[in-house]
């Protein structure tokens, strides 16, 4: 069973479109994250959800919006996609107090 | 503000060598440190998690050490193999995980 799964794995879309990336975890963790990996492979936190509440919102454009229908899901919705949004996006989950984070396989987003 | 750096940025070695990857962090008040592996085009795989009360953790040919007072962690890979080729990332928790920039390792036959 996959612990953290995200779909789709690859996403190619045109500028200006709206798209969503889905993430699900079956570990019973109480915190989920979205990370963006830039061209230099550096991972930056975008959002974190703990018990369905947004607890971290880094300085990302408001075109990006996380949506958590329940504790096991944290979806990332992106409006009006731009070329600079092209990157790999990783979903992760962890349990407060345990520290170890588990990551999805990543979604490679290409905006053309 | 916690900052995490890794050296070297890239490493290319023949198989069989023993390797040392370094991770440094500026704020020693961490409660654990985690090492990850990332294969090209794939996600992150957690390799080792060291709690702040531990000095090292071992998994197979991997050994990670932690020296909080000096703000350093080392990942030691014994008898490297071509299958070890990947990018290795260390990360420390703050209110989120803070990642280093990674070491890209290539082990050639």
Rounded CA gap, B19 and B76, in Å? 6
CB contact under 8 A, A56 and B32: no
Rounded CA gap, B15 and A56, in Å? 42
* SS3 call for B74: strand
Give the residue on B whose Cα is nearest the Cα of A101. Answer: B46
In this predicted model, what pLDDT tens digit does every residue of A25-51 receive, in sequence order? 999 988 888 988 876 666 788 888 887
Rounded CA gap, A71 and B17, in Å? 44
DSSP letter at B16? Answer: T
In terms of C-beta density within 10 A (0-12 exposed, 13-18 middle, 19 or more buried), how is residue B61 classed? middle
Rounded CA gap, A65 and A55, in Å? 13
For residue A7, what pLDDT band results from cuts at 50, 70 and 90?
very high
Scan for tokens 């799964």, then name that residue: A5
Q: What are phi and psi of A11, to 5 degrees?
A: -145, 115
CB contact under 8 A, B46 and A56: no
Judging contacts by C-beta atoms under 8 Å, the chain B residues touching residue A105 are 42-43
DSSP string, A31-62: EEEEEEE-TT--EEEEEEEETTEEEEE-S--T
In this predicted model, what pLDDT tens digit does every residue of B49-107 receive, in sequence order? 888 888 999 999 999 999 999 999 999 999 999 999 999 999 987 766 788 989 999 99
Does residue A110 surpass a pLDDT of 90? Answer: yes
């Amino acid at each position: 069973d996959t612990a953290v799964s995200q779909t789709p794995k690859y996403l190619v879309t045109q500028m200006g479109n709206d798209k969503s990336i889905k993430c699900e975890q079956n570990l019973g963790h109480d915190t989920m994250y979205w990370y963006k990996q830039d061209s230099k492979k550096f991972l930056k936190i975008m959002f974190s959800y703990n018990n369905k509440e947004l607890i971290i919102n880094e300085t990302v454009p408001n075109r990006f919006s996380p949506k958590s229908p329940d504790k096991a899901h944290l979806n990332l919705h992106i409006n009006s996609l731009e070329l600079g949004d092209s990157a790999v996006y990783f979903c992760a989950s962890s349990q407060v107090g345990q520290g170890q984070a588990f990551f999805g396989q990543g979604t490679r987003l290409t905006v053309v | 503000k916690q900052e995490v750096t890794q050296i070297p940025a890239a490493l290319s070695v023949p198989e069989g060598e023993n390797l040392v990857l370094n991770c440094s962090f500026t704020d020693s008040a961490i409660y654990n440190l985690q090492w990850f592996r990332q294969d090209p085009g794939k996600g992150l795989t957690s390799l080792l998690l060291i709690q702040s009360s531990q000095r090292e953790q071992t998994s197979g040919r991997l050994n990670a050490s932690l020296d909080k007072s000096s703000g350093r962690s080392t990942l030691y890979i014994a008898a490297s193999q071509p299958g070890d080729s990947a990018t290795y990332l260390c990360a420390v928790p703050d209110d989120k995980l803070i990642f280093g920039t990674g070491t890209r390792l290539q082990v050639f036959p």
